[in-house]
Each structure stands twice: as C-alpha cells, then as structure tokens.
Amino acid sequence: MGHGSAGALEGTARRRSRDDGPCVEHWRPEGMEGLRMFRVEDSSRLLSSYSELYGVVVVLRGAVEGWYRGAVRTLAAGGLRLKEPGDVHRDLRVHSPITLQGAGFTADMVDEAARTLGVPRPVHFVDVAPGRAPRAAALATAMHAALASRGPVTRELEALVIETLTELLATCTERGEVRVHERAPRAVRLARDYLRAHLCGPVSLDALAAHAGADKFHLIRAFRAELGIPPYEYLTHLRVARAAELLSAGMTGAEVAHAVGLFDESQLHRHFRRIFGVTPGKFARSMQRQHRPSRLRMSGLACGA
C-alpha cells in the first residue's frame, strides 16, 4: 500500500474514479487515529503499489498474480496479504476482475502494539498461506466488512481493529533472530535509506551506488531482486506517497510537485494516477480537511522541514 498519512479527518473522506478503469476509493475512518483505508472495485488493470504503512489487505472477489517479496504469488478471494513499510507489489496477471480492501496502520501504532505483546521489532510479517492463520484471517475479514460502511468508528469497531492487529502480530510475525533489514542485502538497505533521505532532490545513480558501496550494475540487479523494481521506480513510489500526504494537507498540485522533487504538475499527475489509480485533484478534494491548514503547517510538511 503506498499510503502514509497524518491524523484522522473530521469525517470520512472518500474518493472514487471510474475513468479508464476500476473504482478506487481512499478514506480515513473517523475517530481512529493511525488508520487509512483503500478499496479497489472490479479491477482488471495491472497495478503496482508501494506500501508506506503496515498493511492488511483482503481479497473479496477475483484473483490476481503478482510479484511480491521476491516471488510470484497468486492471491484469490478470501486471501490475506500483509505488508510492511517499503514493500512493493506489482501485478503481472489478473485472472478475474479483482475487488480488494486494505487497511494501513502507522508504524507508531504497530510498534506500540508489538512492544506491549513482546513481539520483536521492527515487526516483520510472514506470508499467510491459505489456512495458515484462520483466526487472523477471519478477524481481518470481519474488520474490513465493518470498516467498509465508512461510518464513524464505534467502540465495538475500535475493539475489533485492535483485536485484529493483536492477532496478526501474535501469529503472523517473524519471531526468530532474522529481521527484515538484516535479510536484505546491505547495499540495497543503504540504497533505500539514501533514497528516502533524498526523495526531494536530484539523485544520480553514481551517487546512489557510491553510498551503497556497490557498482551501479550490481546494485540495480540486487535492488530489483529484493524489491521487484529498480531504484528510480522505488524513488517515484516514495515521492507519490509523500505527495499524497501533502495533498491531504491542502497544498496545490504545483506546490506538491516541487516539494517532492518532480519536474512539474503534469509529471505528478502522470505518476500519481498510475500508482494511486486516481488524479491528484480528485484525491485532494476528498482527503482535505474542512478547513485548509495554515501556510505554516504546510511548510512544515514539505521536504527539508
């Protein structure tokens, strides 16, 4: 899921787009800090996504084959996919039109729960094959069904969300000595850190390779093997995820394009629609607060603040 956020909005924000493809919706449940939602309805398009949050995705209908965590996997109706910040998913083949819904949890929310449960951090989810964690899958499905109404979060729903996250952390995480950052090649980890630190400015491949301590040919190959996309596509996903935050805060498309290191608003439009499935304008109109944030607040969100 490519989808970081600030706090909850005063009300449930939604967006829909049926232009040239499936219905795509994003919203923030009212009254639940640290939670973002998205839904893709009846999609036959090949999509890719970068996850800025910890994601819990359930497939409601259809089946899709895609690249994820170094392998090609098929996800069908009833399936559960868990994502971590930095994960990339890229569709390769849609077997039948797919409808899925995802919930994104902030790292702070997940870390707090993991610390309470004694789960090693940083949290690393394991793959959930069909039948592997039936209670976690059932809770996730029930949670998504309740959140699909897009109403304010009741105490009962909040309890279901917390119970679902707790069950996932208790039964679907890696508890051994291996951590996600240790599993990745060192050069890839260093390259990812560099891209995150420089997402607003120009990044040369030579500088990236020098920082990672590898020649650029081996780095690109290792990066794609680990994450499924080359470094510059990863950087684009980072920039679009950051752009979504700034659009939600009330910045204009032109301001956002400059703030995240893109050439102009048309480039933002092209990448944003490709990755999010909706134009920046439609996303902004649905996600902005009722009162536009102050210019000081927006400056603090921009890169380099």
Residue 14 has pLDDT above 80, yes or no: no
* Shared-domain flag, residues 206 and 297: yes
Half-sphere exposure (CA, 13 Å, Cβ side) for 23? 10
Q: Worst-scoring range by mean pLDDT, 140-144, 239-243, 257-261, 291-295? A: 291-295
Say yes or no to pLDDT of 23 above 80.
Answer: yes
Same domain, yes or no, for 208 and 127?
A: no
Q: Answer yes or no: is 4 within a domain.
A: no
Residue 125 is classified by DSSP as B
Instruction: Please indicate, yes or no, whether residues 46 and 133 belong to a single structural domain of this protein.
Output: yes
The answer as to whether 14 is a domain residue is: no
Residues 163 and 189 in one domain: no
Answer yes or no: is 82 within a domain.
yes
**Are 1 and 83 spatial neighbours (Cβ–Cβ below 8 Å)?**
yes
CB atoms within 10 A of CB 226: 19
Tens digits of residue pLDDT in 30-58: 988 889 999 999 999 998 888 889 999 99
Same domain, 188 and 166: no
Check: CB of residue 56 under 8 Å from CB of residue 103.
Answer: yes
The pLDDT value given to residue 283:
92
Q: Would 75 be classed as within a structural domain?
A: yes
Do 216 and 145 fall into the same domain? no
pLDDT of residue 195: 95
Q: CA–CA separation, 179 vs 173, rounded Å?
A: 10
Q: 202 and 93 in one domain?
A: no
pLDDT tens digits, one per residue of 266-299: 999 999 999 988 999 999 988 765 334 444 344 4
Res 13 pLDDT > 50: no
Q: Which of 111, 139, 171 is the last residue of a domain?
A: 171
Confidence of residue 22 (pLDDT cuts 50, 70, 90): low
Task: State whether the Cα torsion 253-258-261-265 is positive or negative.
Answer: positive
Residue 233: which CATH number?
1.10.10.60
234 lies in a domain?
A: yes
* pLDDT tens sequence across 152-196: 899 889 999 999 999 999 899 987 444 444 556 899 999 999 999
CATH number of the domain bearing residue 65 = 2.60.120.10
Question: 29 lies in which domain range?
Answer: 23-171
Query: For the chain, what is the domain count?
Result: 2
Please report the DSSP string for 161-215 in residue order.
HHHHHHHHHHHSB--SS--HHHHS-HHHHHHHHHHHHTTTS---HHHHHHHHTS-
pLDDT at site 69: 83
Residue-averaged pLDDT of the chain: 84
Same domain, 147 and 203: no
In whole angstroms, give the CA distance from residue 255 to residue 22: 28
Rg (CA), the chain: 19
Does the residue 69 lie in any domain? yes
- Residue 87 Cα distances to 18, 67, 229, 257, angstroms: 27, 11, 11, 23
Q: Is the pTM for the entire model greater than 0.85?
A: no
Is 161 found in the same domain as 189?
A: no
Q: Specify the length of the chain in residues.
A: 305
**Pick from 171, 192, 208: which residue ends a domain?**
171
Domain boundary among the residues 171, 198, 232 is at 171
**Domain identity same for 155 and 219:** no
- Over the stretch 100-148, which tens digit does the pLDDT of each residue have? 999 999 999 999 999 888 889 999 999 888 888 999 999 999 999 999 9
Q: Decide which of 10 and 232 is more confident.
A: 232
Q: Which of 22, 63, 60, 77 is nearest to 144 (CA)?
A: 60
